[in-house]
Amino acid sequence: MIKWVIFLSFSLWAIISGVGVVLFSNPVYVILWLLSALISIAGIFFVAGAELVGALQLLIYAVAIAVFYVLVLTAVPWEKALKKDTHFRTSGILSLPVVLLLYVEMALVFILGIAASPEGKFREAIKKLGNTEVIGSVLFSKYFFAFEVVSLVLLVGMIGAVIIGRKEKQTYENDTP
């Protein structure tokens, strides 16, 4: 009973934060709403008993990833932050079908995923071994291939970042007389 109350309050908090992310125009407020949404989702994980996932949600999303948006603040002058209008109105309307398609896809994956989810299969193992150990053993045995493919995707992203961020030594040398 009390679990449901906590779960519902966290869900409500997450939904309100999500609406806040969409409605506010000041980027600083948007970052804060996003942070609040991420923290409430971590709370939902904790209520569900997935301690490790909750802590990782907090550590990776709320801190490591959302922090990078904070660096956006340097690029937000005060006058721009207070303005209400946005540049991308037509682009937003044009991209609506794509967004809808993506949502349908997400719903499909979600519905298919419910059928494939190992509901209750690991409950005994979690009781015996603990959350972290079970996630580790499942990740590195059953889902090992998917795990490696995902890390490859991340590697590609990292290489891209390094290429974008590299110094172009040649041009500087040519400039010096």
Partner 1 sequence: MESVIAGLIIAVIKILVILGVVLGVGAYLTLVERKVAAHIQRRPGPMVVGWHGLLQPLADGLKLMTKEDLFPRYGNRVLYNLALIMALVPATLVFAVIPFGPEFELFGYKIKPILTDVNVGLLLVFGLGSLAVYAIALAGWASNSKYPLIGSMRKAGIIVSYEVAITFAVMGPLILAGTLSTYNIVEAQIEQKLWYVWLQPVAFVVFMFSLLAETGRVPFDIQEAEAELVTGFTVEYGGMKFGLFPLVEWYVEVLSLSAIAVVLFLGGWSPINIPFIGFIDPLFFLGPLSPFVWFILKVTALFLFILWLHWTLPRYRIDQITEIAWKVMLPLALFNLVFTAIIAPVVWR
**Positions that interact with partner 1 (CB under 8 A):** 28, 32, 35, 51-52, 54-56, 58-59, 62-64, 67-68, 70-71, 73-74, 76, 78, 130-132
CB of 158 to partner 1, least distance (A): 13
Q: Which is nearer to partner 1, 103 or 140 (CB)?
A: 140
Q: Which is nearer to partner 1, 78 or 110 (CB)?
A: 78
CB of 27 to partner 1, least distance (A): 10
Biggest CA–CA distance in the chain, Å, is 77
> Buried b / exposed e across 83-102, counting CB within 10 Å, b at 16+?
eeeeeeeeeeeeeeeeeeee
**CA–CA distance, 116 with 158 (Å, rounded to integer):** 31
**CA–CA distance, 130 with 138 (Å, rounded to integer):** 12
Please give the helix or strand (H or E) that residue 33 lies within, else none.
helix 27-47
Q: Which is nearer to partner 1, 73 or 94 (CB)?
A: 73
> Degrees (nearest 5) of the Cα angle 40, 45, 50?
160
CB of 57 to partner 1, least distance (A): 9
What phi, psi does 143 have (nearest 5°)? -105, 30
Q: Which is nearer to partner 1, 65 or 108 (CB)?
A: 65
Q: Which is nearer to partner 1, 74 or 171 (CB)?
A: 74
Which two three-digit tokens encode residue 31? 């970052």
CB of 32 to partner 1, least distance (A): 8
Q: Which is nearer to partner 1, 14 or 54 (CB)?
A: 54
**CA–CA distance, 52 with 131 (Å, rounded to integer):** 6
Which two three-digit tokens encode residue 47? 């209520």
CB of 63 to partner 1, least distance (A): 5
CB of 173 to partner 1, least distance (A): 20
